[in-house]
Structure 1
Amino acid sequence: MRITSATPADLDQLLSFRQEAAEWISKLGSDQWSRPYPADRLLATIEAGTVFMLRDGGCTAATITLTPEAEEGLWSVEELSEPSMFINKLTVSRNYAGQNLGGKLLDWAGDRAYRAGAKWLRLDAWTTNGRLQRYYLDQGFQHVRTVLEGNAVNGGPRVSGWLAQRPTCRAEHGFTDGAASPEPLRA
């Protein structure tokens, strides 16, 4: 399998992945991703070069977003002073479930972040999705804290504020990396 940078042509596939994941998560009893993700925001992340696709020949098996930009209001000033990269929107097609592609993508992200000069690979997860939180703990992440205060967008309760991190490191993930080399993080 090969990792490539997403292009605007992948937008429909990414929106479809999110819908598929929302339906699956709903069957597990979570309201995570129950609201459609704005296509224009997703397109902006694609154009910023932070969205990656895991391709299996002509099929897309999974996607992950890896960015040096933290979501506002989650991490402390001290934490943000440490070189870090942030993952989100990790999604594996249900056709590829059970192959540990998510774990391998997390290893790829940690390796890429390491090569960019990051100390930490960080994420925020849905605050009420204990199953997802356990998954990340099983992947070597450590829970930092849970942020429940309102967010800047709507002032309501924060739904994705379970924060976790793990150190970056070189990793064997088994994928062919077709994405351009990561840009070094700015100090």
Structure 2
Amino acid sequence: MFPRAAARPDPFRNPESFVSFRVPAIDFHTLGDLQMRSAVREDLDVILGLRAHLSEWLKDKGLDQWQEAWPDEGEQARRIGEAIEAGATWMVCDAGEPVGTMTLHTEDRGSLWSDVDDGHDRALYVSRMMVHRSHSGRDLGAELLNWAERRASDMGLVWIRLDAWTTNDKLHAYYQQRRFEHAGWAPTRPDLEGYPSAMLFQRRVAVATD
């Protein structure tokens, strides 16, 4: 396990943002032929391994995304573990084997949206969405985003929002092709110095009809 990092202001450390997703036991859903379940403590290493797997793939594509942890590996592992413990992280499984993950918050952790018009609207915030390359080709990412939007609709939220890697133009196009709009940039603050995912995207939640 990574060592705990030295003390540093952490704009994302706000466990209260997870409260709407606390569950007393593992929660299960289906996503087509795949299964969604709430993450457990043992999934931390799985998520870190998935990130490392995708980091190598991105490197082979000539992209700098995820080549270094922000602000460091210890803090990254701590934040992932905190989200798991709070019930905010989900695992995508194929026949019981994890093949993807995503984390959902009900608050703007880190106040990334503080400079955006309507930034204080009620929203569901998506982060750490990852899919193993073995399951590329079916646009599982779009399925996950649609699943998150349905949850947001059930909760009466206005937007689903995410922050994207600043230099990954192909990723930006991916989100825009899936009805996300570029809403702004993360603010420039000392506690966000070097934050690599400064591009903010949002998609209006469709209102469910009977």
**If the TM-score is normalised by the length of the shorter chain, which range does it land in?**
0.7 to 0.9
**Kindly tell me: are residues 54 and 21 of structure 1, through their superposed partners in 2, closer, same or farther at Cα, counting changes over 3 Å?**
same
Q: Give the secondary-structure state (helix, strand or coil) at the position aligned to 1:86.
A: strand
TM-score by length of 1: 0.83
Q: Which residue of 2 aligns with 1:16?
A: 49
Gaps of 5+ in 1: 172-187
Q: Give the secondary-structure state (helix, strand or coil) at the position aligned to 2:65.
A: coil
Q: CA offsets per residue over residues 33-64 of structure 1, 9 Å max, x none? A: 11244322211010111111111112112111
Higher relative contact order (CA 8 A, sep 6+): 1
Contact 1:141 / 1:165 at 8 angstroms: preserved in 2? yes
TM-score by length of 2: 0.74
**Match of residue 158, structure 1, among 188, 195, 205:** 195
Q: Which residue of 2 aligns with 1:100?
A: 139
Structure 1 CA distance for aligned equivalents of residues 89 and 51 of structure 2: 13
Q: Which residue of 2 aligns with 1:138?
A: 177
The answer to whether 1:81 aligns with 2:120 is yes
Structure 1 CA distance for aligned equivalents of residues 62 and 114 of structure 2: 31
Structure 1 CA distance for aligned equivalents of residues 198 and 106 of structure 2: 18
Structure 1 CA distance for aligned equivalents of residues 157 and 48 of structure 2: 29
Bigger mean CA deviation after superposition, 28-37 or 113-122? 28-37
Matches within 5 A, 1:1-187: 1-36=34-69, 37=73, 38-76=76-114, 79-147=118-186, 149-150=188-189, 152-153=191-192, 156-169=193-206
Aligned length in residues = 169
Q: CA offsets per residue over residues 70-124 of structure 1, 9 Å max, x none? A: 1324212763431101001110001111111110000001111111121000010
Contact 2:114 / 2:187 at 8 angstroms: preserved in 1? no
Gaps of 5+ in 2: 1-33
Bigger mean CA deviation after superposition, 27-36 or 48-57? 27-36
Give the deviation of 1:162 after TM superposition: 0.4
Structure 2 CA distance for aligned equivalents of residues 151 and 32 of structure 1: 21
Structure 1 CA distance for aligned equivalents of residues 51 and 207 of structure 2: 29
Contact 2:39 / 2:87 at 8 angstroms: preserved in 1? yes
Structure 2 CA distance for aligned equivalents of residues 143 and 8 of structure 1: 34
* Counterpart residue type for residue 143 of structure 1: H
Bigger mean CA deviation after superposition, 54-63 or 143-152? 143-152
Structure 1 CA distance for aligned equivalents of residues 102 and 118 of structure 2: 22
Contact 2:112 / 2:187 at 8 angstroms: preserved in 1? no
Give the deviation of 1:15 after TM superposition: 0.6
Give the deviation of 1:12 after TM superposition: 1.0
Structure 2 CA distance for aligned equivalents of residues 19 and 102 of structure 1: 18
Structure 2 CA distance for aligned equivalents of residues 83 and 147 of structure 1: 18
